[in-house]
Each structure stands twice: as C-alpha cells, then as structure tokens.
Structure 1
Amino acid sequence: MIIDGHAHAAGDFCKALDIIKSLNENNVDYVVLASTPQLNSNKNQDLSFFSKFAEKHPENLIYFTNTIVKKVNALNRTSKKIEFGNEYVHNLVKQYPDRILQFYWIDPAEGSILTKLDEKYDRYNFKGIKLHQCINKFNLKENYMHEISDWAASKDLPIFIHLTSKKDVMDMLQLISQHRDTNFIIGHLIGLEVFMESNVVFPNVFFDISCPQLVPKTKILTCVNKFGAEKVIMGSDTPYGKNNLSNVISNVKSLAISSHEKKLILGDNMRDLLRL
C-alpha cells in the first residue's frame, strides 16, 4: 500500500478528479489531505531554489524557510482562510471517500476548541488533526495543548504538527512525554537533531518526510537509522513544490534500505496509524 501522508487541497490536489488522476498515475492508494491558505488555486509552488541548500544545511534550512512562511502568512492573514479550506477538503472527501482522507486543521488557541472539535468530528469524521505554528499562533506549553492531546487520544486520532523553532521542538518533547497515549507526527523532520540529541525514543512519535525540496534523502536515512523505518511516514506536501508526489516516492525507493522498510515508509505505517 502507498499513502501520501501529508498534502493540501491545492495545486495538483485542488480538484477531485485531478487528485484521483495523480494518485492513479503514481499507484497511490490514499492521500491524507488538509486545508490550505491557497484556496481554489491549481498552481504548484516552485521550491526548487531551496533544493540546492537542503544537502548543505539539512538542520537549519527548515528553520529559515519557517521564518519566511511565518512572515508571508502574517501579512496575508491566511489563518483566516483555514476553516473555509477545511470545508473544501470535506467536500472532496465526500466525492472520493475511498481515496481521500481528511486531517482537520485547527487553531489550538481558538476559544472553545474542544467544542469545535466535537462538532466537526461528528460532521467530517476526520482521521487526524493538523497544527501549524507558522500560520496559527499558539504555545505548546498552554493548557489547551494538553486538552487537545487528550481529546485526540480519546478518539485514537494522530496529531500532525509543523513546528517553528528549536525552542518549539524542545517544548514539543515535553508535551509528548506527558501524553504517551497520543500519536504525534512531526512534520518535515523539523527538529530531528533535537529528538536525536535527547536520546529519548517515544513510541508515540512519527516523522513526516515531506517535502522533497526541503528534506534530502540523507536526512531521511539518518531518521531511519536512528528511530527505525516504522517511525517514518511518506508525504508530498503538495502543492508546495512541483512533482512532489512522484519525487518523494522516488526518493524513498532509492534509499539504501530493505524493501520491507521502504513499504513501511511508503504507506504501511500510515495505514496502521489510521487503522485503514
């Protein structure tokens, strides 16, 4: 089984038929889709400029791009568009429930967030929660993060999170340690070096390897060697990059690991995590 474990409803994945076409062309069974600030945009963003720095600066490049993303989205007030995008994703899922899975994007600091989660879960039946610190302002040490983590555990839903800084990664380690029953997916291998330096192996932590322009194969291999292939999840991060789905699949298949390990990363890990 092959699953795109992290993508957005824009670019190649803006329209339902285009999504299915892309999945079929790449022999992918499912895509995990989240909202996006780029509503109704069928354009894939060109991130090739960053590729040349990914191998040279595997740790710090993502923190640099986070700074850019944070500033651009603050200026454009894109956080206001996320809820509309959640509804858009839900409508895509209704068209192809056997191929498209929804992760519901939330702002943890929003008031009455647990009530909202209950309401939207009843309506959307989403398969996970998406958090993004570059777009939504929230503090991992606040009580709402504990409440959300407990809620996710009660529903057996994973939390995917895009962290911003090394300090946030340290705060994330503390949150994870306090919520061993909640599964967390760390987006884009952000803070991998901090997880490695901590010398703590959390059974409830998984690492997303999207997108190929920012996450070089050497960094994926480092993660596999340290934490095991069973903790690594393949994602494209479409539309943030061109030909991401085919490229990330190619990257995994070319890794110097066993065929079994490749299968785990390409989809079996996410299949088990989502109980598909």
Structure 2
Amino acid sequence: MVIDFHVHTFTDSLAPKALHNLNADGSKPMYTDATVSDTLTKMEKWGVDRFVILSVATKPTQPKHINDWILEQQSRNPNKIIGFGALHPDAPDTLEELSRLKSLGIPGIKLHPDFQDFMIDEERLFPLYDACAQLNMAILFHCGFDAVSPDLIHAPPHRTAKVAELFPKLTMICAHFGGYDQWEEVYNVLAGKNVYLDTAYCAHRMSSKMAEKIISKHGAEKILFASDCPWDNPADTIRFVDSLAISEHAKQLIFSDNARRLLKI
C-alpha cells in the first residue's frame, strides 16, 4: 500500500489559473492538471492507493470556503482522499474554524509560512499550535526554501526544532524532508526531534546518501511518503524511496504504515 501525504488539487475552474500562476515561466513539468478527477486517475496509474490533499489559504477570508470544498472531495472519495484543512493565522475565527474541522473528522491542517508571511516560531502562532495539540490535530508545514520568498526562509530547521521543543504534544509534519534544500541543517538540528518528515519534492533534488543519513538519525518510523504532486511525480518518488539503502520494513513504514498510524486508518 502507498499513501501520498502531500498532494495539491484545486477546483476545476481554479486549477488552470493556479498552475499558471505557480509555474508562469513553464519551467516545471506538471504531472496532473491539478483537478481532483485527473489526480485520481493518475494516482491509480502510479500505484498510489490513498492521498492527502493540501490547500493553502493565502488570504484570511479563504479558509471556510476552501475547507468546505475539501470536505466535499473527501466525502465523494472516502476510500481515496484524506483532507487536511486550510487555516490562515490572521483570520479572526481561526480557532473556531479549527474546532469545526475537528468536529467534522479532519485530522490536521496545512500551514505555509512563506505564503502566509509568518516565521514558524512566532509567538502569535502559539495559540494555534496549542489548540492543535489539545485537539490532537496535526500541522503539516512547508519547511525550508521556497521561491516565493528566496531571501527569507520562514521555516528553517533551527526554528522548526524550537517549535517542536516548545510543543512536545503537537504532531508536526515537516515537509520536504524537514527543510527544502537545507538538509545538512535538518540533519544537524531537526533529525531526532519529535516531528514527522515527509519526502515531498525531494526525489530529483536530494541525494540518496543525504536521505539515508537523515533517516538513520531520525528513524524510519517518523518519515512519511509524499510527492508534492502535481509539481513532482509520485512514481519517481516511489522509485527514490525504493532505491534507498534501508530495510524493506523501513520502506513499508514510509510508504504506508506511518501514515496509517498517524491518520488512524
């Protein structure tokens, strides 16, 4: 079984615009058209059994609308799609929306420090982190470099590690192996902490040796298979994990068992 923990989809009307805006120069290959229907078809072809859809609220007014759509997709495809909620730190009703998501069975939320303009260890985020910990809801963070903010990394490994230490009961999922393009620092200060790391957007950019090094220190039981589709191809990410010099048991943990335990499925 393969569960992809990091997939992006959009409404049919928004998908073309979203892909254009996020790839205006056409330099990146797109592996789906970012609609739910095309993603479902491609995931079956690639051998992915279930996947988590993630959306980012870039404005404080967006979360409820986004979350209603996520809930609809999950209800239409209960054996394939797991939805994470979208929240914005500046929305006045963030904690109320979090409680609503919990009541509707959503297991976690996605935050993107670069798109939402906050440092991961800013104190104004602490009430949200504490609420997620109390409600047993995970937070998946974009971590490391992002082209939208090339000169200021909002979630570098040392700041992410600080949050993990301050909120030991918070389930943190640190995307891109803990910090895109900052993997030496991930190894030095974040690996071994009480966080999950996902493999999103790493198959073509991270060396096998570095992945093996981090997994050895961090533990395979805290690594989640993830592609970042449509920006990366889940089939290539499967091959990347399969190529690593780790045990078959470790690979099974990464491909599905860790996600099943975290999501209680």
- The normalised TM-score by structure 1 is 0.74
Note if 1:207 corresponds to 2:197. yes
Residues 185-194 or 167-176, more deviating: 167-176
Note if 1:174 corresponds to 2:174. no
Aligned AA for 1:102? G
Aligned AA for 2:86? W
Identity percentage of aligned residues: 26
* C-alpha spacing 1:199/1:181, structure 2 compared with 1 (3 Å): closer
Partner in structure 2 of residue 3 of structure 1: 3
Match of 1:138 among 108, 118, 124: 118
Give 5+ residue unaligned stretches, structure 2.
11-30, 145-152
Residues 96-105 or 80-89, more deviating: 80-89
Matches within 5 A, 1:7-18: 7-10=7-10, 12=32, 14-18=34-38
Give 5+ residue unaligned stretches, structure 1.
38-77
Deviation of 1:180 (Å): 0.8
Match of 1:103 among 72, 76, 84: 84
Deviation of 1:36 (Å): 5.4
Match of 2:217 among 226, 234, 258: 226
Matches within 5 A, 1:26-45: 26-35=46-55
Match of 1:163 among 138, 143, 159: 143
Deviation of 1:81 (Å): 8.8
User: Of the two structures, which has the highest relative contact order with CA contacts closer than 8 Å and spacing of 6 or more?
Assistant: 1
Match of 1:25 among 38, 45, 68: 45
Partner in structure 2 of residue 128 of structure 1: 108
For the residue of structure 1 that corresponds to 2:245, the secondary structure is coil
Q: Which runs of 4+ in 1 moved over 6 A?
A: none
CA distance in 1, matches of 2:82, 2:218: 26
Deviation of 1:82 (Å): 5.6
Deviation of 1:120 (Å): 3.6
* C-alpha spacing 1:167/1:271, structure 2 compared with 1 (3 Å): closer
Residues 128-137 or 112-121, more deviating: 112-121
Number of matched pairs: 232
Structure with the larger helix share: 1
Aligned AA for 1:253? D
Deviation of 1:105 (Å): 2.1
- State whether residues 61 and 91 of structure 2, in contact with CA within 8 Å, keep that contact through their aligned partners in structure 1: no
- State whether residues 130 and 160 of structure 1, in contact with CA within 8 Å, keep that contact through their aligned partners in structure 2: yes
Q: CA RMSD in A?
A: 2.5
CA distance in 2, matches of 1:257, 1:206: 18
For the residue of structure 2 that corresponds to 1:134, the secondary structure is helix
- List per-residue Cα deviations over 1:183-238 (Å, max 9, x = no partner): 11111020443343238732x31111111233343332121122121121110101
* C-alpha spacing 1:163/1:256, structure 2 compared with 1 (3 Å): closer
For the residue of structure 1 that corresponds to 2:90, the secondary structure is coil
Partner in structure 2 of residue 115 of structure 1: 96
